[in-house]
């Protein structure tokens, strides 16, 4: 591994210097959202200071430069996930919006009564509820791939679930609650043998590992900007061109039309067909800086560094009496979910907060996962490229202090 | 003691604490003193919604006054519900409905009042007042 300059990286994130409850902030809630580097923060100010104008509309100078900048992000996203063409990158509000778009547009057109949708037992609510809503509307059925006690999907069960009625498989690349990295390439290949399309939720993946949509041969891939060091309110739907073309539009409005009369409207081409209305322009433009930032460090380096941190954290945390990890998959990202015998996750979270340590407690929008393990929730420490071993030590000491108070 | 007298006493108690740790240790201690809800009422019907942890609260009327029993699976939350029971239990429904719970702010627990706060202190207060309203109507 090349020299990973953690001091320089931390200096790029101004919020990491602040104190919380009189203690230096230890931010370990990166699965919920990541902090932003100066490059992203400054570019937001720069956008409003120098460029603010609506995109894809005006002939005037500002509109042209903001449109160009917005489209630069699309190109950057295209190469970030190795999409064949930039028009296959639909810019949305975020992962949830992207999934709802597919459930609404693809689902309404191509999924019918009696059809089946396969999801996994470790999905985030946003990759469950849109499919349930579709099933309620159309009379189709959801089947669920179970997982083992380590939090790994049961691939044999998946093979048994899939059949000619399966029209779509929607799975997460990396579990937000468990950290499991799923074998999505294999899941996709099996689905394709049965004629089903696959949506992969990469919200917890793209900031940690290299994602290549062509290598995966994935039909739809979705993720959010704010979990990859970019602004909130922007996300991506990647889709295969023939599927996107075959789908009806999502919302009606400006930008998504070619021609409108009161009798009939013809729709714009990709990607604009799915981008009705004024988008979150500054988020779209400034996401470009976040991708540049990730690229400047290199996903390979990030992956190696985070893996080292994860190993260190697992080793140190396992020394705490009563520690029980939830999600111990062989293939795992830097998401650590755990409970401590005799304590409630909420109580531990409150004490850690008082010590300046930000973790998430609760069900992590994945209640079925908690039900699977028979627990009300977990404490989750999710690591990012700027976390350090010292912060892990502070977390471990904080948990010990909490346990002393609570047990 | 009136609701306000109890509130004032709590404000005085909490004034002794110099740091958050002492404060939370006291809250945890208070949790151990809560009049425990009878196991038969630890059901869905008596759960307070909006808490990350489970909170059960059961009201009953004795001699024209409302008494609460409670429990929680998280001990800080149990301490918070215990605080509320300490202040509101044993008063008339009208007194409970009209109570201005200024002590929460004064003892430095205002952060727990945010509507999205996971412990649902706000939900507890709301539910206790709702019970009082219902009992007032029935009385």
Main-chain phi, psi angles of B49, to 5 degrees: -75, 155
Among A379, A373, A300, A299, residue whose Cα is nearest residue A335: A379
Q: Which residues contact B137 (CB under 8 A, 6 or more apart)?
A: none
Contact yes or no for B111/B117 (Cβ under 8 A) = yes
- Which residues does B contribute to its contact with A (CB < 8 Å)? 20-21, 24-25, 28, 52-54, 73-77, 118-119
Kindly tell me if the per-residue pLDDT of B118 is higher than 70.
no
Contact yes or no for A182/A205 (Cβ under 8 A) = no
Q: How many domains does chain B have?
A: 1
**What pLDDT is recorded for position A126?**
97
ipTM, 2 decimals? 0.86
CA torsion B21→B111→B131→B67, rounded to 10°? Answer: 20
Distance CA A204, CA A93 (A): 16
Distance CA A170, CA A127 (A): 7
For A141, the 3-state DSSP assignment is strand
SS (H, E, C) A337-398: EEEECCCCHHHHHHHHHHCCEECEEECCCCHHHHHHHCCCCEEEEECCCCCCHHHHHHHHHH
Q: How far is CA A155 from CA A167, A176, A181, A385, B134, in A?
A: 18, 19, 13, 31, 53
Contact yes or no for A358/A27 (Cβ under 8 A) = yes
Contact A346 B24 (CB under 8 A): no
pLDDT tens-digit map of A306-333: 999 999 999 999 999 999 999 999 999 9
Report the catalytic residues of A: 365
pLDDT tens-digit map of A356-395: 999 999 888 888 999 999 998 999 999 999 999 999 999 9
Could you tell me whether strands A23-24 and A26-27 are parallel, antiparallel, or unpaired per DSSP bridges?
Answer: unpaired
Confidence of residue B139 (pLDDT cuts 50, 70, 90): low
**What pLDDT is recorded for position A255?**
81
**What pLDDT is recorded for position B113?**
58
Q: Which residues contact B47 (CB under 8 A, 6 or more apart)?
A: B54, B55, B56
Kindly tell me if the per-residue pLDDT of A169 is higher than 70.
yes
pLDDT tens-digit map of A20-56: 989 999 999 999 999 999 999 999 999 999 999 999 8
Q: Kindly state the DSSP code that residue B106 receives in the 8-state scheme.
A: H
Distance CA B30, CA A249 (A): 58
> What are the residues facing A141 on neighbouring strands?
A116
Contact B53 A405 (CB under 8 A): no
How big is the A-B interface in CB pairs under 8 Å? Answer: 41
Main-chain phi, psi angles of A193, to 5 degrees: -65, -25
Among A179, A174, A229, A177, residue whose Cα is nearest residue A203: A174
Confidence of residue B115 (pLDDT cuts 50, 70, 90): low
pLDDT tens-digit map of A332-342: 999 999 999 99
Contact yes or no for B121/B112 (Cβ under 8 A) = yes
Kindly tell me if the per-residue pLDDT of B131 is higher than 70.
yes
Distance CA B95, CA B75 (A): 28
Tokens 């109580």 belong to which residue?
A347
Q: Cβ of A146 under 8 Å from any chain B Cβ?
A: no
By CB atoms closer than 10 A (0-12, 13-18, 19+), residue B106 is: middle
Angle between helical axes of A281-297 and A61-80 (0-180°, round to 10): 40
pLDDT tens-digit map of A83-100: 999 999 999 999 999 999
Domain that includes residue B17, residue range: 3-137
Report the catalytic residues of B: 51
> What are the residues facing A323 on neighbouring strands?
A340
Among A166, A81, A180, A198, residue whose Cα is nearest residue A121: A180
**What pLDDT is recorded for position A253?**
86
**What pLDDT is recorded for position A223?**
98
Contact B75 A376 (CB under 8 A): no
Contact B76 A377 (CB under 8 A): no
**What pLDDT is recorded for position A119?**
98
Main-chain phi, psi angles of A91, to 5 degrees: -90, 120
Q: Smallest Cβ distance to A344: which of B20, B25, B53?
A: B53
Confidence of residue B116 (pLDDT cuts 50, 70, 90): low
**What pLDDT is recorded for position A186?**
98
Mean pLDDT, chain B, whole residue set: 89
Contact B118 A347 (CB under 8 A): no
**What pLDDT is recorded for position A269?**
92
Confidence of residue B53 (pLDDT cuts 50, 70, 90): confident
- Within 13 Å, how many C-alpha atoms sit on residue A396's CB side? 16
Residue B96 distance to chain A (closest CA, Å): 28
Q: Cβ of A350 under 8 Å from any chain B Cβ?
A: yes
Contact yes or no for A34/A60 (Cβ under 8 A) = no
Contact A405 B52 (CB under 8 A): no
Kindly tell me if the per-residue pLDDT of B19 is higher than 90.
no
**What pLDDT is recorded for position B108?**
82
Q: Cβ of A23 under 8 Å from any chain B Cβ?
A: no
**What pLDDT is recorded for position B137?**
73
Chain A hits for B17, CB-CB cut-off 8 Å, are none
Chosen for mutation from B56, B72, B76 (greatest number of chain A CBs closer than 10 Å) is B76
Q: Which two tokens mark A34?
A: 């990541």
Contact yes or no for A86/A78 (Cβ under 8 A) = yes
Kindly tell me if the per-residue pLDDT of A1 is higher than 60.
no
Kindly tell me if the per-residue pLDDT of A343 is higher than 80.
yes
Confidence of residue A256 (pLDDT cuts 50, 70, 90): confident
For A18, the 3-state DSSP assignment is coil
Distance CA A2, CA A302 (A): 11
pLDDT tens-digit map of A185-227: 999 999 999 999 999 999 999 999 999 999 999 999 999 999 9
Mean pLDDT, chain A, whole residue set: 96
Determine which helix (DSSP H) or strand (DSSP E) holds B104, and give its type and residue range: helix B103-106
Q: Smallest Cβ distance to B119: which of A346, A351, A377?
A: A346
Chain A hits for B118, CB-CB cut-off 8 Å, are 346, 349, 361-362
- Within 13 Å, how many C-alpha atoms sit on residue A123's CB side? 26
Contact yes or no for A257/A268 (Cβ under 8 A) = yes
CATH number at residue B97: 3.90.1010.10
């Amino acid at each position: 591994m090349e020299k990973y300059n953690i001091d320089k990286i931390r200096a790029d994130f101004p919020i990491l210097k602040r104190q919380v409850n009189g203690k230096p902030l230890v931010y370990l809630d990166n699965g919920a959202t990541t902090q932003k580097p100066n490059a992203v923060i400054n570019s937001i100010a720069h956008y409003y200071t120098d460029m603010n104008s609506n995109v894809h509309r005006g002939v005037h100078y500002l509109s042209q430069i903001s449109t160009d900048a917005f489209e630069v992000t699309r190109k950057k996203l295209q190469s970030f996930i190795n999409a064949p063409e930039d028009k296959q990158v639909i810019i949305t509000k975020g992962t949830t919006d992207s999934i709802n778009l597919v459930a609404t547009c693809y689902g309404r057109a191509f999924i019918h009564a009696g059809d089946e949708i396969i999801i996994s037992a470790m999905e985030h609510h946003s990759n469950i509820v849109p499919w349930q809503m579709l099933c309620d509307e159309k009379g189709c059925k959801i089947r669920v791939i179970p997982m083992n006690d380590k939090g790994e999907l049961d691939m044999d069960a998946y093979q048994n679930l899939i059949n000619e009625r399966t029209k779509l498989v929607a799975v997460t690349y990396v579990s937000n609650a468990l950290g499991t990295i799923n074998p999505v390439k294999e899941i996709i290949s099996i689905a394709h043998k049965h004629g089903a399309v696959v949506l992969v939720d990469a919200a917890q993946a793209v900031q940690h590992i290299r994602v290549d949509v062509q290598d995966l041969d994935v039909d739809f891939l979705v993720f959010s900007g704010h979990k990859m060091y970019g602004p909130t309110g922007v996300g991506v739907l990647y889709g295969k061109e023939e599927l996107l073309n075959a789908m009806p539009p999502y919302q009606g409005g400006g930008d998504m039309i070619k021609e409108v009369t009161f009798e009939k409207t013809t729709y714009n081409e990709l990607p604009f067909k799915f981008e009705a209305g004024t988008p979150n322009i500054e988020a779209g433009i400034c996401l470009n800086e976040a991708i540049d930032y990730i690229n400047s460090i290199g996903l390979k380096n990030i992956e190696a560094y985070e893996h080292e941190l994860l190993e260190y954290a697992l080793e140190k945390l396992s020394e705490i009496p009563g520690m029980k990890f939830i999600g111990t998959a062989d293939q795992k990202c830097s998401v650590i979910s755990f409970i401590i015998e005799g304590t409630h996750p909420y109580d531990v979270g409150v004490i850690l907060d008082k010590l300046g340590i930000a973790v998430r407690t609760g069900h992590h929008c994945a209640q079925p996962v908690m039900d699977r393990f028979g627990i009300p929730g977990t404490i989750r420490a999710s690591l990012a490229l700027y976390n350090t071993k010292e912060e892990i030590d502070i977390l471990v000491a904080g948990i010990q202090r909490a346990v002393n108070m609570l047990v | 003691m009136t609701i306000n007298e109890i509130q004032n006493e709590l404000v005085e108690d909490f004034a002794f604490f110099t740091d958050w740790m002492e404060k939370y240790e006291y809250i945890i201690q208070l949790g151990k003193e809560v009049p425990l809800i009878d196991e038969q009422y630890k059901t869905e019907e008596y759960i307070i919604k909006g808490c990350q942890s489970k909170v059960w609260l059961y009201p009953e009327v004795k001699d024209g006054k409302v008494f609460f029993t409670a429990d929680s699976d998280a001990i800080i939350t149990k301490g918070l519900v215990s605080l509320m029971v300490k202040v509101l239990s044993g008063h008339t429904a009208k007194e409970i409905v009209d109570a201005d719970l200024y002590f929460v702010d004064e003892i430095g627990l205002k952060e727990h009042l945010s509507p999205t706060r996971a412990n649902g202190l706000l939900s507890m207060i709301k539910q206790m007042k709702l019970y009082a309203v219902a009992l007032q109507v029935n009385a």
